[in-house]
Amino acid sequence: MTKYLEDAKIIESKPLSSDVNILKVYAPNIVKEAKPGQFVNVEVTKQVAPLLRKPLGVADVDITTGILTLIYRILGEGTKVLASLKVGEVININGPLGHGFSLHAKKPLIVGGGCGLAPLIYLAKKLCPKPIDLLMGGRNQEELFWTEFYKDTCGEIFITTDDGSVGTKGTVMALLPELLSTGGYDYVYVCGPEPMMKAVSAACEKSQIPCQVSLEKYMACGIGACLSCSCGGKNNRRLKVCQHGPVFLSTELEEW
């Protein structure tokens, strides 16, 4: 698969919530190659600091316009700088990188929490018109702006919130076991906080339903050279999230 180092013009940059932003850039070369579940490495500044590029999952692409959509939570210095950039500015992006999701599911369940819902948007779009259900978890009602991104691709959307302000109170695990037993799903895709993904993976393995997880690790290079994103696979195999992933079958992983 071809990778590009592309100067991308910012088309849109705005907040979706108090700490989550959406960024749309014109990057036609990356867009034509990107697959659901892959990521890009974004150079947020030409200055010395922050030095490292920021890895961000591909949230969506528009082949017709060449627009790449990225959604990220503002946490550290890099994302703060990224959020300060204006429409019309140009940022350098490397990608697409890594391996994405399998698309062979016949009746998939997508499970996402927090900003883990970002890379699942393009997945749902590519799986359409298959019968797709979505199980979405969030801390509170403010985080449920995500439903707008899925309303045209998913059938049933099941919601849980930590505070019970919308949907079922609790984590996605409050609903997942029942869904797995009654929904007739043949595949599960999950991305979100690591404890949530581990719990979802365990439930899927118990129900003998294949599950793909999208891992997020600290990445210094994004191309498999620095080993900062390694994790433990079965049979003592060391896996690099940026190179072998970020998407893995849950049964491939031993220690995350």
In a domain, 254, yes or no: no
Average pLDDT, the chain: 92
220 band by pLDDT with thresholds 50, 70 and 90: low
| Final residue in a domain of this structure, among 50, 74, 97 | 97
Question: Is the residue at 249 inside a domain?
Answer: no
The pLDDT tens digits of the residues spanning 18-36 come to 999 999 999 999 999 999 9
Closest to 122 (Cα-Cα) out of 73, 183, 56? 56
Residue type, 122: Y
Evaluate if residue 254 carries a pLDDT over 90. no
Whether residues 122 and 84 share a domain: the answer is no
44-59: average pLDDT: 82
Cα 145 versus chain centre, distance:
16
> How far apart are alpha carbons 151 and 74 in whole angstroms?
25
DSSP code of residue 39? E
Q: Quick check: is 221 in a domain?
A: no
19 part of a folded domain? yes
Q: Where are the beta strands (DSSP E) in the chain?
A: 4-15, 20-26, 39-43, 54-57, 60-62, 67-73, 90-97, 108-113, 133-138, 157-161, 168-169, 187-191, 211-214, 230-233, 238-240, 247-249, 253-255
Average the pLDDT over each of 20-34, 50-64, 88-102, 186-200 and give the range with the smallest value: 50-64
Round to whole Å and give the CA distance between 67 and 185: 32
* Boundary-marking domain end, from 45, 62, 97: 97
CATH of the domain at 88: 2.40.30.10
Q: Which of 78, 97, 116 is the endpoint of a domain? A: 97
Q: Is residue 240 part of a domain?
A: no
Q: Which residue has the tokens 């190179």?
A: 243
Q: Say yes or no: 18 and 41 in one domain.
A: yes
- Look at residue 245 and tell me if it is in a domain: no
- Residue 202's contacts (CB-CB under 8 Å, 6 or more residues apart) are none
Helices (H) and strands (E) in the chain, counts: 7, 17
In a shared domain, residues 92 and 140:
no
The domain in which residue 195 lies consists of 108-214
| 52 within domain boundaries | yes
- Please indicate, yes or no, whether the overall pTM of this predicted structure exceeds 0.85: yes
Decide: 14 and 73 in contact? Cβ < 8 Å. Answer: no
Looking up residue 200, the CATH number of its domain turns out to be: 3.40.50.80
Which residues of 27-162 form beta strands (DSSP E)?
39-43, 54-57, 60-62, 67-73, 90-97, 108-113, 133-138, 157-161
* Two structure tokens written together for 23: 């960024």
For the chain, how are helix, strand and coil distributed in percent, rounded to 5?
A: 30, 35, 40
Total count of domains within the chain: 2
CA distance 66 to 61: 7
